[in-house]
Amino acid sequence: MLFLVFTINTTCIRFDKIYTGKIRDLDEIIKSGKLIAVTDNSSINYFIYRGEPMGFQYDMLQELANHLGVKIELIISRNLGEAMEILDKGECDLVAINLTVTNDRKKSMTFTRPIMQTRQVLVQRKPVNWQRLTSEELDEALIRNPIQLASQNAAVYVQKGSSYTRRMHNLAEEIGDSINIIDVPKDAETLINMVAEGKIDFTVCDENTAMISQSLHPNIDIATPVSFPQNLAWALNTKSVALLNITNDWLRNYTHTTDYAIMYDKYFHSLRTSSILNSDYNAFRTGRISEYDQIIRRYSKTSNWDWRLVASIIYQESRFDPHARSWAGAYGLMQLMPETANRFGADSEAAPAENIRAGMEMLVYLDQRYSKIIDNPSQRIKFILAAYNVGVGHVDDSQRLAAKNGKNPNIWDNNVEIYMKQSSNPLVYNDPVVEFGYCRGDLALNYVNEILERYQHYKNVANQK
């Protein structure tokens, strides 16, 4: 009954891996139906808020994938060296981490046209009494000229392998003095947090990132630039020529649209962004997906289910609203029908914990039923989810139709799902082997796919335990 069926490691979480080491270009991507991109889990690029994936890079990648007519598949990495290695090996199609375009990087990768411009800024901590200081007094207390970094022999911590490291070395050369530059394998946002907490005194990052972080940490100062404006872009393998061309054409058009302007403003200028970042349900900041995480963890652990998969089911059913009711009479977080709820000891007045417990018992029941005939966990979960959505009877009908037409009734992909999708067709639901009649099987397919896709996002941002 254990559904931990996807690869997980400490630095990189990926979906079903389809690469063999060959660099893919546009034709292969379209044929596979997937665009695979590396991005990072951060307060700007990609995060989960109230159960939904969000982020500037995530939204941009979704728009590009829609343009190409494919799905987006993410590899999450907060290590730039690892991201570049993944790209070089052909394990992804592009890196979407707003990389600074440099001549040195151009030797090993190709950049898209710029997505935006920014400059690098020094991040430093304001004095304890900063709120009582005038702007002039604050300027006197802080570094406002980068030359001061050398004169004070201040330690500047920067992300290893980043453009910030090169910029600080170039700055030292420009001022004709030495700067105490410390490379560490930590991302920019982690280093900013360390400045805010007093663990280090200085770091350097893009101004866009610093502006967002300042909304979380008002005690940091980001007003001292250390570079001229620089272009930020996505990186592709040098062999992906056709993908580069179509991506550039799309960027040229999309970045001048109203939709892009609204999206950019949402992440970089909107006051609502601050409330999202400070929310208890921003998984990047808190690791929480919903207010019911602990209850979901408790009952999932008892049943040997991954709690993040259960959380994805609950989001699909009720958007974490314990008062949700459907037109058909289902209610609660797990949208149990009255008969099902009664069977597992719950009712419409049950507290959220009881609704989750009853829903989990239903899932366990379905798992036990299908485990007798389906050994493959990744296939079995799709049968379970479909049955939870439309009922066992309709899934049985699709299995019988698959067997009748020479398909494997115990494999979902490209077998049973074919007949589930067709189950609203009179030619199909009037077949003699169909016992439960008409079914909106297309909705069931979407239900299965959306839950499993969201499950991957939840695994990207929340620990299993």
Residue at which a domain ends, from 212, 228, 244: 228
Whether residues 309 and 251 fall in one domain: no
Whether residues 359 and 450 fall in one domain: yes
Tell which residue, 130, 257, 134, 149, has the closest CA to residue 201: 149
Whether residues 297 and 268 fall in one domain: no
Contact 224, 121 (CB under 8 A): yes
Q: pLDDT of 132-157, one tens digit each?
A: 999 999 999 999 998 899 888 889 99
Query: For residue 1, is it within any domain?
Result: no
Contact 68, 254 (CB under 8 A): no
| DSSP state letter for 15 | S
Query: pLDDT at position 154, please?
Result: 82
CATH number of the domain enclosing 128: 3.40.190.10
Query: pLDDT at position 62, please?
Result: 96
Whether residues 274 and 314 fall in one domain: no
Asked whether the predicted pLDDT for residue 172 surpasses 60, the reply is yes
In this prediction, residue 10 has a pLDDT band, given cuts at 50, 70 and 90, of very low
Query: pLDDT at position 275, please?
Result: 57
Whether residues 309 and 405 fall in one domain: yes
Phi/psi zone of residue 7: left (φ > 0), alpha (ψ -120 to 50 degrees), beta?
beta
Asked whether the predicted pLDDT for residue 211 surpasses 90, the reply is no
Q: pLDDT of 175-186, one tens digit each?
A: 888 999 999 998
Asked whether the predicted pLDDT for residue 208 surpasses 90, the reply is no
Whether residues 219 and 308 fall in one domain: no
Ranked by mean pLDDT, the top range of 244-248, 337-341, 426-430 is 244-248
Query: pLDDT at position 17, please?
Result: 45
Is 378 buried (19+), middle (13-18) or exposed (0-12) by CB count in 10 A? middle
39/180 Cα distance (integer angstroms) = 30
Query: For residue 2, is it within any domain?
Result: no
Whether residues 65 and 187 fall in one domain: no
Predicted TM-score (pTM) of the model is 0.70
Q: Give catalytic residues, as residue numbers.
A: 317
Asked whether the predicted pLDDT for residue 104 surpasses 90, the reply is no
Contact 242, 219 (CB under 8 A): no
Whether residues 332 and 442 fall in one domain: yes
Q: pLDDT of 45-100, one tens digit each?
A: 898 887 889 899 999 999 999 999 999 999 998 788 899 999 999 999 999 987 88
Ranked by mean pLDDT, the top range of 11-15, 79-83, 411-415 is 411-415
Asked whether the predicted pLDDT for residue 440 surpasses 80, the reply is yes
| Domain limits for position 372 | 293-461
Query: pLDDT at position 387, please?
Result: 96
Return the H-helix or E-strand segment holding 285.
helix 283-286
> What six digits make up the tokens of 310?
């259960």
Query: pLDDT at position 327, please?
Result: 79
111/234 Cα distance (integer angstroms) = 6
Asked whether the predicted pLDDT for residue 13 surpasses 80, the reply is no
Whether residues 37 and 139 fall in one domain: no
Query: For residue 4, is it within any domain?
Result: no
Phi/psi zone of residue 464: left (φ > 0), alpha (ψ -120 to 50 degrees), beta?
alpha
348/324 Cα distance (integer angstroms) = 11
Query: pLDDT at position 273, please?
Result: 58
Tell me what the mean pLDDT of segment 445-460 comes to: 92
Tell which residue, 267, 238, 197, 242, has the closest CA to residue 57: 267
Tell me what the mean pLDDT of segment 422-440 comes to: 93
Please give the backbone phi and psi of residue 158, each rounded to the nearest 5 degrees, phi first: -135, 155
Residue at which a domain ends, from 187, 213, 228: 228
Residue at which a domain ends, from 271, 286, 301: 286
In this prediction, residue 3 has a pLDDT band, given cuts at 50, 70 and 90, of very low
Task: Report how many domains make up the chain.
Answer: 3
Whether residues 265 and 317 fall in one domain: no
Residue length, the chain? 465
Asked whether the predicted pLDDT for residue 431 surpasses 70, the reply is yes
Query: For residue 5, is it within any domain?
Result: no
More confident residue, 359 or 81: 359
Q: pLDDT of 384-394, one tens digit each?
A: 999 999 999 99
More confident residue, 363 or 283: 363
Query: pLDDT at position 284, please?
Result: 66
